[in-house]
């Protein structure tokens, strides 16, 4: 099936907004594939750390991005057959990933990899530029966000539950710095596109956010069906 005929739900938003959790739940509800685009950048960051690659060596970082040996399976992520699911979720890895994501050669190297996840029956993906750059023709585009304070609290709870020590004040500062960095980068900056629906989850539960996305997707499908009917001879 041509890629343009495969439905895509693109959920973009800032760090720790809950977009990954919501995207996974929506994908499971619809029986769609799921892509955590941020994981790819974190994998590049992890591999760069493992190989002691200088973060300023953009050519080498792009080479790493092109040659990642990655497997996504049963909510686990494997890099060169090693389970790195938890390793890529550290704050240090996230900060490094945010930095190298501003390098155009790295983004270009990962573009085709991300688009390859678009397979039948459909795809739900989350990131920073899924709707604006990677899947501009997505059936539904959403910008999912929450206040920085709420996001820091969520990240703190997530880390503590994993047995990782964390300081909520430091987390809040890191989130604010990352928001500024992601929003002001030259390539694919974090921003809400005019055709993306805003979903502020500050006062919403995960289930409420999931239901909002599913309702919007149902509406989008109905609109597409109506347009096809009108265009039919």
pLDDT of residue 119: 93
pLDDT band (50, 70, 90) for residue 225: low
Residue 68 pLDDT exceeds 50:
yes
Give the tens place of pLDDT for each residue, 200-209: 999 999 999 9
Q: 3-224: which CATH topology?
A: Rossmann fold (3.40.50)
Domain segments of the chain as ranges: 3-224
Helix (H, G, I), strand (E, B) or coil at 85: coil
pLDDT at 117 over 80: yes
> Could you read off the pLDDT of 171-197 as tens digits, one per residue?
999 999 989 988 888 777 888 888 999
d(CA 14, CA 195): 17
Share of the chain above pLDDT 70, in %: 94
d(CA 5, CA 189): 27
- 9: Cβ–Cβ under 8 A, 6 or more apart, which residues? 23, 26, 32, 122, 123, 124, 125, 138, 139, 140, 142, 213, 217
Q: At 33, is the secondary structure helix, strand, or coil?
A: strand
Q: Does the pLDDT value for residue 15 go beyond 60?
A: yes
**Average pLDDT rounded to a whole number, residues 105-126:** 93
Which pLDDT value is given to residue 16? 87
Mean residue pLDDT of the chain comes to 90
Stretch among 142-146, 178-182, 197-201, 228-232 having the lowest mean pLDDT? 228-232
Looking at the predicted structure, is the pLDDT value of residue 159 above 90?
Answer: no
């Amino acid at each position: 099936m041509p890629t343009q005929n495969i439905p895509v739900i693109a959920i973009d938003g800032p760090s720790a907004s809950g977009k990954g959790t919501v995207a996974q739940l929506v994908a499971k509800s619809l029986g769609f594939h799921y892509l955590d685009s941020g994981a790819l950048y974190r994998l590049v960051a992890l591999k760069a750390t493992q190989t002691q690659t200088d973060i300023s060596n953009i050519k080498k970082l792009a080479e790493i991005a092109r040659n990642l040996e990655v497997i996504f399976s049963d909510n686990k992520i494997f890099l060169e057959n090693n389970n790195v699911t938890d390793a890529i979720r550290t704050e240090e890895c996230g900060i490094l990933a945010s930095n190298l994501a501003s390098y155009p050669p790295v983004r270009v190297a990962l573009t085709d990899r991300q688009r390859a996840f678009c397979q039948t029956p459909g795809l739900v993906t989350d990131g920073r530029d899924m709707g604006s750059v990677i899947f501009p023709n997505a059936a539904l585009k959403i910008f999912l966000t929450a206040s920085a304070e709420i996001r820091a609290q969520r990240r703190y709870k997530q880390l503590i539950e994993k047995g990782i020590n964390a300081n909520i004040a430091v987390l809040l500062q890191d989130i604010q710095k990352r928001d500024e960095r992601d929003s002001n980068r030259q390539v694919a900056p974090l921003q809400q596109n005019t055709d993306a629906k805003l979903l502020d989850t500050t006062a919403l539960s995960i289930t409420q956010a999931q239901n909002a996305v599913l309702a919007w997707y149902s509406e989008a499908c109905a609109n597409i069906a109506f347009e096809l009917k009108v265009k039919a001879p």
